[in-house]
Structure 1
Amino acid sequence: MSTGFLDVNDELSNARIEFRSQPRPIPADARVVYKLAQIAVVLNAFNKNSATIENLHLFTWSLQSKRAGQMLMSWWSGNRHASTITQKSDPHLTVALNVGLIRGMVNITGANHNRVTLQPLGVHLAQQIELDEELMGAEKMYMRQFGRLSDAAVLRKLARNS
């Protein structure tokens, strides 16, 4: 007499198990090293290598896709109202900032801990990226369109359009 239990065990013991590697690539903007380099490029565009976290979020968000970049440029140039901006944020920025803080690349200051400043190691990274024309070329070219930035200039430029 056969029980269902034994039949299942026989099937399992004869089953062929095969593992196949199926890579699941991590998008570049989710990689901490890339995000740290991106932070260095963005903060390097600001006076004193320092910006509010909100502005850092805004500019790193704008580097995520061509559409996001075009949207910020449209707000910046006054072709579109910035009232739709509400608060653009980069979901991967927080992890990278924590790593950058631990590694001594950035410092977070301000009464509300809302200002990020490149430290000497971060400034060095930004300089190295700047020296290599091909390294992060698209990001550097995009950021140059805004000229030298400051938190006040960003506020004035985007508030003017709202």
Structure 2
Amino acid sequence: MIDIVIKDSDLRKAAEAGMDEFVGIFVQAIKDAIGGELTAEAMQQLNSDQITLLGYDILHEEVMDGGFIQLIHNGYGGFIYKNPFAKALREWGLRDLYRIINKSHSYYNMYHERIEQECTDEEFMALFEAMPQFDDCDDAFVEGEEQFTAMVAAYIDDHIEDFAKIDKEQ
């Protein structure tokens, strides 16, 4: 296991700035510790909560930017759907997000090969028209995003020691 350390003063500033910043300081500390990328090797150095948090960050960034189709196209479908990621989120209390991921999983199974193919920007945009099934999942995520992030922040706050060591500098 790799040591993830966050300065107490930085954590306090992030907490005062809001839940996005609070979650973000943990995400950034984990990313910094593993060299910025969640690889198979990096995953071996992290615990399940740290991996789940990075998964949430990926899910959040991709879906907020371009929906589940973009998430899959950018190569994250296997990580999100072929690992116990959704189950971990359910255990964190994010039952609605668990349901969204499960619903989109069936569409992933149907369409991932087509979505994952190299394509032009025009062909990529056409995927959204060709696969409107993802729209409800995209909308549900966007509508619930603030609540999901608040729940992730609360889970981290209740289990800080599972995410990082807090350096109580003087």
TM-score by length of 1: 0.26
Structure ranking higher on relative contact order (CA contacts 8 Å, 6+ apart): 2
Find the structure with the greater CA-based Rg: 1
Of Structure 1 and Structure 2, the greater helix share is in 2
TM-score by length of 2: 0.26
